[in-house]
Structure 1
Amino acid sequence: MIRHNAQAPLDPATDAALLLRRIGFGTLALVLPLAALVSRRAAVVLVPIGIALLIIAMLIEEPAKFVGSLKEAVFSRPGLILLGLVAWALLSLVWSPFPTSAAEKAGNLMLAVVLGFTGLSALPERMRSSNLNLSPLGTGSAGLFALGLIIISALRHAETPPGAVERGVSIILITAWPALAWLLSRERGMSALGLALIVAILALTRFDDGETVAMLFGAVAFGAVTASRERAAQVIATIIAGLMLFAPILPFLLAPLVSALPDSADDFAQMLSIWADVIRQSPIELVTGHGLDTVVRDQLRGVLPQPAPATLLFETWYELGLVGAAAAAACLYFAIRAAGRMVGALAAGGVAAFTTAFALAVFGFAPLLPWWLMTLTAVVLLFGAIARGQYRTDRPAVPLPMRSAGRTRPKAGEPPAD
């Protein structure tokens, strides 16, 4: 007697889309943290490849949904504000004294925004847990690998580890937030604790670059949002957006405080003095900005003194003026508020990631460099994917009559129990 297989018919297109999606997401979540430890250009190469695979998978599976999601993301309020910021950065090329280098910087910013929009639109409505498990696996294994490389470098009495390792550690630290959020959302407390310990040890190796303090700010934000999600997210969003919007007031407020500090703060006082002089001498540029990519170039040609502030706050106001700073502040505010509205541990992890990234930018870490822009784009996509993996976290309960009767097999006509 021949028994027929009741399985659903094979769909090669769907299978190909699932495979491409797994490879694309694995490139962002698993390969990126590991490859960044051995290649300085890993993020610049791998992030566009991973997002391209996600887009191809969605175009194979549901092209109409991809187009609809992209339109919704672009024409949302945060999306329009972000596009306005990019448009103003492109417009600043008109009065920038260095249009060639400024065009390259604007191109990198525009590429990151395009990849972010298309990557989020290419995510399916439901992400499989098997794909999302790659995030903590990649971050954890890369963290252990990085610790091994740092220990070997110390045993060889090298002053600093190779440049690729330092950049890779920075990528591991920022990608740790979505990985921790996923583990906590699945109630894997011990795994989350192990990953947190690895990340904490790595952060201590980056104290001189400010990453230790930035991660500490992120941890504080994580705890605050865990305790009071809506209120903490609103307060953090207001503080970060306020710092961006009212940054020109900082040198005048901090100068009296810094002057009371010991002589070791002379460099900081000089930096604040330069910032205050720029504000006094350029009232028109305070609104329009000097043009994209002018901070470094003006320092090289002597227009801007060398110890100028190395922070994203000064760079944004100097290059894009009030218009660019206001758009950036609005983007940060709405993005952090949106992160705070995510479910469970994702809200705390998302706000912590924004806080960490902003703190690093304030400390002058990798301002708008291509590899850092690509890394932040990947982190946004990881959070978007994890948010779409939060479904059916609880199994349906067994009906009380069946549980009390102790039946293991349903009667005829009854649906089988889980």
Structure 2
Amino acid sequence: MNRPSQTMLDPAADAALLLRRIGFAILALVLPLASLISRRAAVILVPIGVVLLVIAALIEAPRWFGANLKGSLTSRPGLILLGLVGWAVLSLVWSPFTGSASDKAANLFLAIGLGFSGAAALPERMRASNLNLAALGTGLASILAIGLLLTETLGPSGARATDAAGSVERGVSVILIMSWPALAWLLSRERGLTALGLALVVGVLAVTRYEDGEAAAMLFGAIAFGVVAANRRFGARLVAAVTASLIMLAPLLPFLLLPFLRLVPNAFSTVALGLDIWADIISTRPIQLITGHGLDTVLRGRITGVLPLEAPTTILFETWYELGLVGASTAALALYFAIRAAGHMPGALAAGGVAAYVTAFSLAALGFASFQTWWLMTLTAVALLFTAIARGQYRTERPVAPLTRRPKAPVVPSVQ
């Protein structure tokens, strides 16, 4: 008598699946919601989520994880990014603020290390049930953010309300950048109406943050999304070339824009003053244009009076002032290859990935967050979400049925 076959239980595999689901849920579901409540949510949650993903990978396939991590670090984009971090660390030698610069370098190294480790820990085939959490988390957080903003508008003012408002504003920033992988996932699953509803809610949130440039950054991201959706390869190359060129040609901006801004001094007086300071720094310190002044010299320079308070806050100025030509060219190459790699992702992920890069770059160029730890961790989470969604796409296509029927083979009678 044959007994029915029973599925063998593997406690280690079950534990790995559970840890992976919890880790991914922290990044996709908990992070956008918690960012509305705590200002340091990303700093705490992203490392926890990545550690759980790494533990799951070590339990399930440690050799596979090691091979993935090694391959990512030795790839061309990986080596360029490591070169950028290495130059930033080397700039500590001539930075006058070694203590704070060391903390900044450690945060940058931690964010990149978490990104590489998390991407290597993700399985080759992600389950759709896990990836649905990206859209669910962004959607719930968006609705909650709108409710909190309405409560903030109608509620009393005070120190406690001000602190809560700061958390909500930072949480809205997290939701905006995390909306791109959520929209890309919905579009890749042909859930157009759901994606449209999420886009409308995110658009409303972006309008509430127009003063910090986030509405403009989301608009630039939407334009990049449309360009790549129209022509994936050409669009990705165009966007990559434009962003990399902006970084490399940034020292020319003060000399190119100042003559035009001086024609309307009242409208752009602050911008013109910042560009004037930048032009004076380039003219009087040509040697530092190559090496930079060292990491964290922009922020500390404003505090100590070395730099005027009106100095530009854009990442373009900070990169050239702190890391010089070497750091700027390395950063431009890293961003160029990152956008090109995003353009090779399947379907709507290419447009969503490029749009996320453009949004993050635009925010940094407009002076938002730049190298703050919570923003670096948020960008790490977004990169991991895109990597996971890319590995959750269909790998095979159904064969196309022929339009014409093939004639049946004649039946040959068998000889008895």
- For residue 236 of structure 1, the aligned residue among 239, 254, 259 is 239
Matches within 5 A, 1:38-77: 38-77=37-76
- Other-structure match for 1:29: 28
* 1:144 matched to 2:147: no
**What is the CA–CA distance in structure 2 between the aligned matches of 1:329 and 1:313, rounded to whole Å?**
10
Correspondence 1:245 to 2:244? no
The residue identity in structure 2 corresponding to 1:128 is R
Q: Is residue 2:259 matched to residue 1:260?
A: no
Report what 2:18 is aligned to. 19
Task: Report the 3-state secondary structure (helix = DSSP H, G, I; strand = E; otherwise coil) of the residue aligned with 1:151.
Answer: helix
Matched, 1:375 2:372: no
Listed one character per residue, the Cα deviations across residues 264-322 of structure 1 (whole Å, up to 9, x for unaligned) are 21111111100000101111110000000001111122221110001000000000000
Percent identity, please: 64
What amino acid does structure 1 have at the position aligned with 2:170?
R
Across the two proteins, how many residue pairs are aligned to each other? Answer: 401
Aligned to 1:280: 283
Question: Alpha-carbon deviations, 1:9-58, whole Å to 9, x = none?
Answer: 01111111001000000000000000000011100000000000000001
Whether 1:209 aligns to 2:217 is: no
2:367 to 354, 364, 367: 364
The CA deviation at 1:122 is 0.4
1:8: Cα distance to partner? 2.1
- State the 4+ residue runs in structure 1 displaced beyond 4 angstroms: 157-161, 392-402
Q: Does 1:171 align with 2:174?
A: yes
Output aligned runs, 1:101-250, within 5 Å.
Answer: 101-156=100-155, 158=157, 162-250=165-253
The one-letter code sitting in structure 2 at the alignment partner of 1:153 is E
Corresponding letter in the other structure for 1:303: V
Report 1:72-83 matches (<5 A).
Answer: 72-83=71-82
- How far apart, in 2, do the equivalents of 1:149 and 1:60 lie? 41
Instruction: Kindly indicate whether residue 288 of structure 2 is the aligned counterpart of residue 289 of structure 1.
Output: no
Query: Which letter does structure 1 place at the counterpart of 2:73?
Result: V
Q: What 5-or-longer segments of structure 1 have no aligned partner?
A: 403-418
After TM superposition, the score normalised by the length of structure 2 is 0.93
Q: Distance in 1 between matches of 2:85 and 2:277?
A: 28
The two structures, once aligned, show a CA RMSD in angstroms of 1.8
Matched ranges for 1:339-358 at <5 A: 339-358=342-361
Shift of 1:262: 4.6
Aligned-residue offset at 1:248? 0.3
Supply the distance in 2 between the matched residues of 1:388 and 1:312 (Cα, whole angstroms). Answer: 32
Letter in 2 for 1:315: E
Q: What is the SS of the residue equivalent to 1:208? A: helix
Paired AA for residue 60 in structure 1: I
User: For 2:58 and 2:338, how far apart are their aligned partners in 1?
Assistant: 27
Code of the aligned partner of 1:328:
A
Deviates more, 1:159-168 or 1:104-113: 159-168
Equivalent residue, structure 1, for 2:85? 86
